[in-house]
Structure 1
Amino acid sequence: MENKGRLPSIPMLISILILFVIIMFSFIVVLELPIQLALLTVWFVIMGFGVYLRYSYFEMERGLLKGIHEGMGATLILIAVGALIGSWIAGGIVPTMIYYGLGIISPGIFLMAAMVICAITALATGTSFGSAGTAGIAMMAIGESFGLPVYLVAGAVISGCYVGDKMSPLSDTTVMTAYLSKVDLFSHIKSMSYVSIPAFIIAGILYWIVGVVITDGSGDLSIAQNTMANLEETFNISWLMLLPAVIVVIMLIFKLPSVPVILFGALLGSLWATWFQGYSFIEAIQTLYTGSGIATGIDFIDNLLDRGGITFMLEVILLILLALGVGGLLQSIGAFKVIGDVFARWATSTGSLTSTTLLASFFGVFFGGAAYVSLLTGTKITEENYDRQGVSRTLLSRNVEAGGTVTTPMVPWSDGGIFMATTLGVATLAYLPFFWYGILVIIISLIYGYAGLFIAKKDKYEMERDKEHAEQI
């Protein structure tokens, strides 16, 4: 039987945090080495602390593997979305979205429209990754055609994608948060709406104002017109090209599992590439793995369209697995428990409840590298604090999403940050200041917490559930 190690002290956890930041900065900025090597180095640093605390290697290995296992759902989605992007570009689906978008949307309202379109797509499908990989890529091409800065367009796109990821009953993170928080799914969504709707409206107004100012209300349409002409020469453009997207959205609306639906959509993309875009069947199937390899002659369009395929996601997947391992190792040496005990002493009001939950959730993103990890750290570290104060767990679920799901694209080594930067072609730190929806969600959540706004007490159902749980214990 293995001896259980002792828990780390607060100074030790601070030391781990400082070393983590130093390693990431040194590898990425100073040495210009891959971030994957930085995370692998962090593994050994945490293991070193674990040995000092008298944890065996096998205990830490189990924790590492458990952490990776908890994020495998996101990995499967990444594989499916990579295949989807490759075949939908080759099949003319994404190019058709770009073409019609250029013809319909005016430069002045584009940023606001990009956020709304991506939000609608994400709400309908329940996936921010899928929305960014399809509608998001189209919006990036359209925005650059209008002469808008790519980092600003990326901010609007990601804002829209995460509105849907957060509010859709089809979203895996939304369902998982409600389950972990032990609240009804639609009660969870209703609670989030108090934060998300104002954040969405304010962000939309800001994008509209900035878009009008930058484009002077109209903008130069010559690049957009040239892009449309070039797309028409390269692809067979028609409304029929959008049928696979419609089919996938309908299937997801009917709550069919995301991964097989996305893979089915990818297969449709290959068929469309064969039937309408001149690919042989073997070439079309190959795009699922290697991407489209499209060359239109316009540099920024080629940069956006020459992507996709499962191989396009392999570095991203490796990075996510390494980041998940960091979270698993920290869990195995008791770091999350120590933090939970500190937060329990601090959380004495709805304001401090909100702050601690946001921090606990962000801790999971920062060290665990995935939204799934943040949902676990946010709920498990702080859930009992809500019960002690008699506050409804709908506040817990709302705060966990604000600190976890929404902050995922803010961290360069998280699954969301990596995917968005890779797919949209804009570095995380470049689009971060313009991810206004995510920033507003955090600000509004804190305001509500400290002002005591939209804070529900436990209802009769929750009281009875807690009583039954206590009796079972």
Structure 2
Amino acid sequence: MDFTAHSRENRPLNSVADGYKKDNEPGPRGHAVNREFTLTQSSSQHTESASEPRAPSLLDALIPLGILIALLSLSVYFYGADSSYGPNQIALLLCAGVVALMGMKNGHSWNDMEGGMLHGIGLVFGAILILLAVGALIGSWILAGTVPSMIYFGVQILSPQWFYAASCIICAIVGLSIGSSWTTAGTLGVALIGIAGALGLDPAITAGAVISGAYFGDKMSPLSDTTNVAAAVTSNDLFLHIRHMLWTTLPAFFTALVIFAVIGLTADTGTASATDIEELLTALKGEFNISIVSLLPLVLLLFMAWRKIPAYPTLIIGALVGCAIALIFEPETARRLGGGEGALAAIKGAWYALFDGYKSTSTNESVAELLSKGGMSSMLNTVWLIISAMAFGGAMERAGFLQVIVDWTLSKVKTVGGLVTSTVLTCFGMNAAAGDQYMAIIIPGRMFREAYADKGLHGLNLSRTLEDSGTITSVLIPWNTCGAFMSGTLGIATFSYAPYALFNLICPLLAIAYGWFHFKQMPLSAAATAR
């Protein structure tokens, strides 16, 4: 199966004459998430101005960005970790309107600016389908006992002497299985912080280990929304993107593990009490039939990924197989979710898990919170945020503002190392200024696409660097939604755990080093073989 599409030429589209797709120009082949969408233009959508639009100035481009930064900062101030659940979307759409007005000042028509917004949104339609499929898969995998079995087997590797390293590994396993660093840290992380306190261990180091593992899992999981967004915004194959990230992610993770192991082996761990862990395991076994069989959907997903089956059908098939496993091995759980008796109630429960996720009845609050998630509906807020961000980005591109900023930024860049460093610093700056990791992925991803091609670099280098910096550094900034969430949830100040979030610190440094030494920078000529 191969959902192949030609990639449009990566340049700002400032007029209808630029077009949306350049024929006979091969692009990266891959999953449905990477398919470029050709929007049909009508005379009512793109009416040519009587005169050519004026070229925007750097001030024109910086004004809407300044307003956006101010509004997003105010949003984080008012709403904290909840700012991504509506307030940021309002700020983005308002700023899209500001961009449209400034574009019209320079000679663009409203229809032209609106077309730019629609084009930007159209680029992520594939990602939206992927995100909805991910929600369905998470719900069905929890119902099938797949996620609970992963957690059950992963938690059992915990021991006092290896507490920090084990905490990192366990959170990595859970994060990889559910694709969410927030959920991992907000449930299992809270329990691990409590156990650390009982053992007399440093809670800041524990928080750093939890965050390091959770972000490793989030970054490398095909279920993660940020991973899908980074691949989509750069028009790259999802699984090729994950594979290319291994070059920076695995060395950073193993280096962090070694340091955590050294700290743990040299620390006074005292007498270990596994009460909380035992309660967790008992609660999981009480609600699900924990077994190796429950891991079959994971094995199938990995096999389909290895066979390079496109992401969307892979995820949908994985979700349906999860439902089948649930109906066979977890029929009582499926019937309970369906609210009845018999086969039809079980089918209703599996259907419910696909669209609205699993609802745990465990008396263990940590388990109930950990497992009550998933479903397509759980992805709607992320979809809302992506649409709002891409409307803003599309308007900025159509008005020519992004190109002005890129030209000014890249005028200082002469080498591949400088380009990668600029990308990392831009992503970090967006995390600090905009306060949201999605903005730190989407906006730099749009800005630097052509620059990487001009340097003869494959887009996979850009998508990897976006994750090495945009995804990873968000948690190191107190006023970023990720930093605010982790600090509030784990009860540890951001600046206290930041020095121990080793994985998050090492990844961007490796990305910069790889750029300067030109190590594992895939050339553009490798596009035909990178499949």
Letter in 1 for 2:325: W
Question: 1:403 Cα shift?
Answer: 3.7
SS at match of 1:237: coil
Q: How many residues align?
A: 431
Once superposed, what is the RMSD of the aligned Cα atoms? 4.4
Report the counterpart of residue 66 of structure 2 in structure 1.
18
Q: 1:155 aligns with which of 212, 219, 238?
A: 212
Against the structure 1 CA distance between its residues 251 and 445, is the aligned structure 2 distance closer, same or farther, given a 3 Å change threshold? closer
1:289-328 → structure 2 map (5 Å cutoff)? 289-328=355-394
Report the counterpart of residue 6 of structure 2 in structure 1.
none
Equivalent-residue separation in structure 2 for 1:393 and 1:350 (angstroms): 9
Question: 1:82 Cα shift?
Answer: 0.6
1:40-439 → structure 2 map (5 Å cutoff)? 40-106=93-159, 108-109=161-162, 112-113=165-166, 131-133=177-179, 142-146=188-192, 147=195, 152=208, 153-163=210-220, 195-209=248-262, 216=269, 219-277=272-330, 278=332, 279=335, 280-358=346-424, 369=439, 371=441, 374-384=444-454, 386=455, 393=457, 398=461, 401-403=464-466, 406-408=469-471, 410=473, 433=498, 436-439=502-505
C-alpha distance after superposition, 1:213-245 (max 9, x if no partner): 889287431000011112212222222111222
C-alpha distance after superposition, 1:90-137 (max 9, x if no partner): 22111121222222343554654565678789xxxxxx9x74438996
The reply to whether residue 7 of structure 1 matches residue 64 of structure 2 is no
Against the structure 1 CA distance between its residues 364 and 239, is the aligned structure 2 distance closer, same or farther, given a 3 Å change threshold? same
Against the structure 1 CA distance between its residues 81 and 16, is the aligned structure 2 distance closer, same or farther, given a 3 Å change threshold? same
Verify the 8 A CA contact 2:96 2:395 in the aligned structure 1: yes
Letter in 2 for 1:251: M
Letter in 1 for 2:61: L
Equivalent-residue separation in structure 1 for 2:443 and 2:115 (angstroms): 16
Letter in 2 for 1:34: P
Question: 1:284 Cα shift?
Answer: 1.8
C-alpha distance after superposition, 1:135-164 (max 9, x if no partner): 996787555444367954243221244257
Question: 1:86 Cα shift?
Answer: 1.0
TM-score, normalized by length of structure 1? Answer: 0.75
C-alpha distance after superposition, 1:373-418 (max 9, x if no partner): 644432313543x3xxxxx636x85365224564136559xxxx99
Against the structure 1 CA distance between its residues 172 and 218, is the aligned structure 2 distance closer, same or farther, given a 3 Å change threshold? farther
Verify the 8 A CA contact 2:92 2:389 in the aligned structure 1: yes
Against the structure 1 CA distance between its residues 292 and 403, is the aligned structure 2 distance closer, same or farther, given a 3 Å change threshold? closer
Against the structure 1 CA distance between its residues 314 and 174, is the aligned structure 2 distance closer, same or farther, given a 3 Å change threshold? closer
Equivalent-residue separation in structure 1 for 2:364 and 2:521 (angstroms): 57
Gaps of 5+ in 1: 122-127, 387-391, 466-473
Question: 1:60 Cα shift?
Answer: 1.2
Equivalent-residue separation in structure 2 for 1:25 and 1:343 (angstroms): 23
Equivalent-residue separation in structure 2 for 1:24 and 1:134 (angstroms): 23
The reply to whether residue 453 of structure 1 matches residue 501 of structure 2 is no
Verify the 8 A CA contact 2:452 2:462 in the aligned structure 1: no
TM-score, normalized by length of structure 2? Answer: 0.67
SS at match of 1:346: coil
Report the counterpart of residue 471 of structure 1 in structure 2.
none
Verify the 8 A CA contact 2:135 2:378 in the aligned structure 1: yes
C-alpha distance after superposition, 1:414-456 (max 9, x if no partner): xxx9999999x969x969946543432322333455xx53469
SS at match of 2:411: helix
Identical pairs, percent = 26
Against the structure 1 CA distance between its residues 334 and 115, is the aligned structure 2 distance closer, same or farther, given a 3 Å change threshold? farther
SS at match of 1:393: coil
Question: 1:64 Cα shift?
Answer: 0.9
Equivalent-residue separation in structure 1 for 2:77 and 2:392 (angstroms): 20
Question: 1:13 Cα shift?
Answer: 2.8
Gaps of 5+ in 2: 1-47, 197-202, 336-345
Against the structure 1 CA distance between its residues 295 and 282, is the aligned structure 2 distance closer, same or farther, given a 3 Å change threshold? same
Verify the 8 A CA contact 2:427 2:469 in the aligned structure 1: no
Greater displacement, 362-371 / 340-349 = 362-371
